[in-house]
Amino acid sequence: MLEDLANGLPNYRLKRALPTPASITALAFGHSGHLFAGSDDGSLRVYDLSSFKVCRAVSGLPAEISSIVCFKRPGSELRDAWLACGRHAYSFQMDSPKLVQVAADATAAIELCEAEDILNELALNPGKTHLAFSTDLGLVGVLDLSTKAVSMMKKTHSSICGIVRFIPHRPREIVSGGYDSSLLHFDFVQGTVLSRRDMPPHPIADGISLSPPFVMSAAIAPTGVMAAGTADGRLWVGFGGEKDPPAKSKKKRSRKWEGFDPDHEVLEKIAEGPIVAMAFSTASTLTISTLMGCTTQYRIVRSNNAVQLVKIFQGQTTEITKVNALVIDSDERRIVFAGLTKDGKGAIEIWNKDSPP
C-alpha cells in the first residue's frame, strides 16, 4: 500500500498571492468559486476565485473577525455567513444589493459573551439549527438559532478556548480545545463533559523546555476521526470515534463518541513550531500548517493493524510570514493560506494542485 501511495504523491504550487491592507485572521470557502476572508481590522472580503477580485465585502465591524461560517440559504446562489467579531456573532446575506455592507446591514447581531470576553471560533451544525462558540475566557456555548437561546457548558477551560467543533453523526455532541492543553467533549444539551484528553508535556531535551502543549488547531473528518495541533509542534490524531472502522475491526458502535480513547490515537512531534491551522480534505487526508508557514499534508494509512501518518507533500508559504488560517477544497484541488506579512499587512496565498501529466 505504501509503495502504491508513493507513486501518486500530490504537488501544490503557488498560483496567486493576494495582498490585503490588514492581517487575514479567518478563512472559509463559500461555494467552490468564492473565498471569504476576514481581517483584524473588522472587514470581510469575498473573492471570486475565477478572477481573484473582490465581489462582496463587509467593512467597519468593531473588532477582528476571528471566525467565519458559510452556509447556503434556499433561493440564493451566494453563501450567507456568520462572523465572530468581538463579543458578537453577526449574520450577513451576501446576495444583498449592497456590494459593501456594514454592521447595520446584518440580519442578526447576537451578543454571546460578557464585556471582558471575546469570541474565538464559531461552528454550525449540519442541520443549521445550532451555532457553537468558544471564548477567550475558556467558555464554550451553543446558540439555538430558532429561539436565540444560549446554553453554556458547565465545565470551562482554565485558559483561552480557541477551538469548537460539532462531532459528525452525533447531533448533541461537541468538542473544544484550549490553551490549558486539553480537549473537552460535551453533550451540549445537558452541558456536561462526556470525556476529555489532556496533552502531556513534551519531555525536556538537552535541558531545554519546549512550549507548553496548548491546543492551537483542530479538525474533524466526516467519519469522526479528530486531529489537533499543539504549540510545541505535536500532532495528535484520535481514531476512537470513527464512524466506519475498517472491516477487520471488532469495535462496536458506542452510545457516545469515543474519539479520545487512548488505545486508538497517534501523538507525534512533527514540527519545531506551533501547529496553528489544519483541515481534513478527505477522511484520510490531513493538511497542517505551522505558524511560520511550513505546510505538510499527511495520508492516514492503516497497515498490519497499525496506523501511520505518511507525509505526502510539504511546502513553505512565500508571502505570509505568520499563518493564521488555511482551507482546502474537498476535492483537494487547492489549498488557501492567510495571515500576516513581514511588513505588518496581510496576504492570501492560493496554491493549486498540479495537473497529472
- Residue 177 pLDDT > 50, yes or no? yes
At 323, give phi and psi (nearest 5°). -85, 135
Beta-carbon neighbour count of residue 138 at 10 Å?
22
Q: Give tens-digit pLDDT for 95-117.
A: 999 999 999 999 999 999 999 99
Q: What is the pLDDT of residues 236-272, one digit of tens each?
A: 999 999 986 544 445 555 678 999 999 999 999 999 8
pTM above 0.75, yes or no: yes
What tens digit of pLDDT does each residue of 37-65 get? 999 999 999 999 999 999 999 999 999 99
β-strand pairing of 100-101 with 44-48: unpaired
CB atoms within 10 A of CB 322: 15
The residue count of the chain comes to: 357
Domains assigned to the chain: 1-17+200-243+257-317 (2.130.10.10)
pLDDT the model gives residue 247: 46
Highest mean pLDDT out of 6-10, 51-55, 353-357: 51-55
pLDDT at 85 over 70: yes
Q: Which residues contact 318 (CB under 8 A, 6 or more apart)?
A: 14, 17, 349
Phi/psi at 259 (5° precision): -65, -20
C-alpha closest to that of 284 among 317, 252, 245, 233? 245
Strand order in the sheet with 334-340: 12-20, 346-353, 334-340, 322-328
Report pLDDT for 1. Answer: 43
Report which DSSP code applies to 105. G
By the 8 A CB rule, do 10 and 337 touch? no
* Cα–Cα distance measured from residue 288 to residue 210, given in angstroms and rounded to the nearest whole number: 20
209 pLDDT more than 60: no
Helix ranges (H only) for 2-122 are 2-6
Q: Which residue has the cell 483561552?
A: 160
C-alpha 245/C-alpha 240 separation (Å) is 9
CA distance 123 to 103: 21
Q: Are 94 and 73 in contact (CB under 8 A)?
A: no
* Single-letter residue type at 121: E
